[in-house]
Amino acid sequence: FGSDQDYQLDIISELDLANATYGITQVAGLHNNSKAFLFRGIARTHAHTHALPHSR
């Protein structure tokens, strides 16, 4: 569906590498053969990110 096969990835497999798939279920998407994800459960925490200083 309008995307280059070279740039597609399996998000569940990638998240499994980080052990971060608890509460995420892959479901059927809106278009043929597309994927969607259902997020359930407790609030997720994000790794600390370092914000870049605002440039003016």
Kindly report, residue by residue over 25-55, the tens digit of the pLDDT: 888 888 877 888 788 776 655 555 555 555 5
Q: 0.75 cut: is pTM over it?
A: no
Q: How far apart are CA 33 and CA 9, in angstroms?
A: 14
Q: Show the beta-strand stretches assigned E in 1-56.
A: 24-28, 35-39
Cα distances (Å, whole numbers) of residue 18 to 3, 10, 13, 50, 54: 26, 13, 9, 19, 30
Q: What is the pLDDT of residue 11?
A: 72
Could you tell me the two tokens for 38?
């259902």
Q: What is the pLDDT of residue 21?
A: 66
Sequence spans of domains, the chain: 5-39
